[in-house]
Structure 1
Amino acid sequence: MAGRPLRVVFAGTPDFAVPCFEACRTSGADVVAVYTQPDRPAGRGRKLAASPVKEAALAAGVPVEQPESFKAQADRDRLAAHAPDLMVVVAYGLILPRKVLAIPRLGCWNVHASLLPRWRGAAPIQRAILAGDEESGVDLMQMEAGLDTGPVLIERRTPITGDDTGGSLHDRLSALGADALAEGLRRVMNGETLVARAQAEDGVEYAHKLDKAEARLDFSLTAIALERKVRAFDPWPVAEADIAGERLRIWSARAIDAETAGTTPGQVLCVSREGIDIACADGALRLLAVQRPGGRRIGIVDYLNARPELKQAVS
């Protein structure tokens, strides 16, 4: 490799991967191609839209490849023709077969948004919040054929606060991932061989893909479990519930102590400018920001102003 920069192929698709793409570009490596998912229909018009990584690559003048998979020999040959020293994979959306992992001289690195082996899989950020984890992080991992099973090269950690949402933790981990990747690239280009740490055999949890049906709030659960769901599902798919005869999206809520003996889960306990308190299996969920059908996100005071039949209960 002496005399020429590290040749990197970058594979990623959503917003989360863009800072890592930029870290590759600013590292001194030669990003020779970007792989991303094919354009998909998006928006009300369902027009084909480029992924955020594709947009970033085009803006940077980097060639873009969008195969449906790597099952065809021609697609693997095209990757090999880029002569990559390293392939960096960040939320790409395709599982790479062994034949692809073997193409780059240094193999493939993956930036994964969890502290492995906890939360392998598709939705580690949201699953960590749902589970009440106190800490998350990113792992720069040497990829192998298993799902997020490869040894860890570099790790970054961050606490999960009581105010974190899926969106805020996503953004923080995205930046941490770019930082870890930048360090790994710098060290390799300085001639260092990174030492990989095998993942522990215990503590494995799978972060299954989010299902929109999960967004429905079940008030027979505890208030803290529902608060975590509201935070985890912001900005997608957004928690929702039937409240006072109306289907609402719940953008912000807090678990509170409340006496719920003799009440039914889902019953409105109190309506005030502080929020709408809903009985749960344990405690109550105080709704703080909601969205009516066809409307926008609003604070609870604005919502009560739009529901005059509830305003009489405002203290």
Structure 2
Amino acid sequence: MVGKRRWGVVLLALLVAACGGGPPVAPAVAPVQAPLDLSGVVLLQRNPGHDDVVFADPATGVVKTTLPLPGRDTSPTRFDGPASKLDLVSPDGQYATLESGGGVDVFKLDRRGRRYERTGTVAGFRNPRFGPMGTKLYFDDGKTVYSTDYTRPGQNTEEAGLVPPDDPLDPRVQAWWPDAQGTVLTWKDVRRAGGLAYLTDSSGAIGYATYDDAGTRYYFVTALDAVTVLLYAVGGTDAHGALARLKVDDGVPQVTKLVDRAEPRIGKAAAAPDRATVLYQTTQGEWFDSPTTPGAITRPALKQLPAAGQRQLVGWA
């Protein structure tokens, strides 16, 4: 009897083992990726062999999202001009563009792979810029501005002929600029008031401007309203300042200093989406911000931005 019981226990153990007895093993669960946060300050980070698009918290500088780009921007002046997120990333963050030796490369965001993938090249063009609405990507060939649908690049539409700006050798002066409605503004329709040269949209609102005053040139950052623009000078002085508001009052430019000096010199400036703050990067890679109202005080910015590679300010998302 005892022997039969032992054999029964052994047989039961063998059956349990063969049938996978015991508690079921839970299947492996893939780690859940954090959602992509495509907001904040947009930076282009240079790395050996490739570029990254970086989205950072504007208050702290903490990096929220880094997306690789399989290529490098080869334009020597692309990010020297006025700042705009639209230099690099589409309004919805789903597309990006780089200027390469072959033309304008277009990339689409692969959310699962967390990177931008090249979808096409518009050969023979330069100066890519996304439109403020819709799916237009603008570029030029040095004589004419064209556009294409960046979701299906290939069919180009002529937008405007180019007229050289006052100083065509100054890379910070743009030869053309899309206004808020997507219409391309060029120097063919320039208006002047003293040292102010400005372009307006169909409603008469200022869409782009530069200002010269006693040897100091101010460059366009953004329009604050229909008659007021935010401008910056590369190097400020006590008399002229580094950041300024300019309002056209009855055809006369009225300039208000915001920041007296920038030491070292300003490399690029970008206004926040609400236009209440302007962020600027110096030529030595330091970061500062300032209110856009009179009496502004410049403060160090992006204090927690890690030191990694060469970063260039693109704009705000």
TM value normalised by structure 1: 0.29
- Alignment TM-score, normalising by the size of structure 2: 0.29
**Higher helix proportion (structure 1 or 2):** 1
Q: Which has the higher strand share?
A: 2
Larger relative contact order (Cα-Cα within 8 Å, sequence gap ≥ 6): 2
